[in-house]
Structure 1
Amino acid sequence: MEINWYLIAILAVFVLALVVYTVRQNLKEKKKLEHKLNNDFKKREPSQHNDED
């Protein structure tokens, strides 16, 4: 039984490319989510406190 090194090398390159692609997509999505969470809230209007007791 002979090991097919060319097939293993091609598979390793494919897996490495897939990992790099996934990490880059994850970073893009993380930036989008962080921006959305930082800017997607209702800003409160300054409330006037009446401290009349």
Structure 2
Amino acid sequence: MEIDWTILSIILIGLIVLIVLVIKKNQKDKKDYTHFLNNDFKKAKEEEVNPDNDDDF
């Protein structure tokens, strides 16, 4: 049984390309998820100050 180096090298190159693409996608998703977590909070509503209303003090 002889090893067909051509087919084996094509499969190996395909696997390397697949691994590189998965790593790049993972890094992009990690960046997006970190951005989402850093900005995922509800901002407090700013209350309007009414100078005519003295009940606040």
**Common fold by TM > 0.5:** yes
Q: Which residue of 2 aligns with 1:33?
A: 33
RMSD of aligned residue pairs (Cα, Å): 1.2
More helix by share: 1
The unaligned stretches of length 5 or more in structure 1 are 46-53
| Alignment-derived partner of residue 14 in structure 1 | 14
Q: TM-score, normalised by structure 2?
A: 0.73
Tell me the number of residue pairs that the alignment of Structure 1 and Structure 2 aligns. Answer: 45
Q: Which structure 2 residue ranges, 5 or more long, are not aligned?
A: 46-57
